[in-house]
Amino acid sequence: MKHMITLGLLALLALILAACGGTSAAPAAASASSGAAPVATASASRLDTSYEGALPQRNQLLLGTLRLEDGNSAVTKEQAAKLLPLWQGVRATMNSGAASEAETNALLAQIEAVLTSDQIAAIGELQLTQLKLQEWAKSQGLSVGTGEGAAMGGGSGQSLSPEARATRQAERGATGTSGGMAAALVDAVIKLLESK
Q: 119 versus 98: which is more confidently predicted?
A: 119
Residue 127 reports pLDDT greater than 90: yes
Angle between helices 77-96 and 101-114 (to 10 degrees): 170
Alpha-carbon distance of 162 to 151, in angstroms, equals 13
pLDDT score at 166: 52
pLDDT tens, 33-80? 334 333 344 447 899 999 999 999 999 999 999 999 988 999 999 999
Best CA proximity match to 137, nearest among 146, 126, 124: 146
What SS3 class is residue 143? coil
Q: What percent of the chain has pLDDT over 70?
A: 59
When pLDDT is averaged across residues 134-140 and rounded to a whole number, the result is 91
| Per-domain boundaries in the chain | 2-20+54-194
pLDDT score at 96: 80
pLDDT score at 176: 37
Q: 96 versus 165: which is more confidently predicted?
A: 96
- Vertex 89: Cα angle to 54 and 39 (nearest 5): 60
When pLDDT is averaged across residues 159-172 and rounded to a whole number, the result is 51
pLDDT score at 115: 97
Q: 61 versus 146: which is more confidently predicted?
A: 61
Burial category of 187 from C-beta neighbours within 10 Å (exposed 0-12, middle 13-18, buried 19 and up): middle
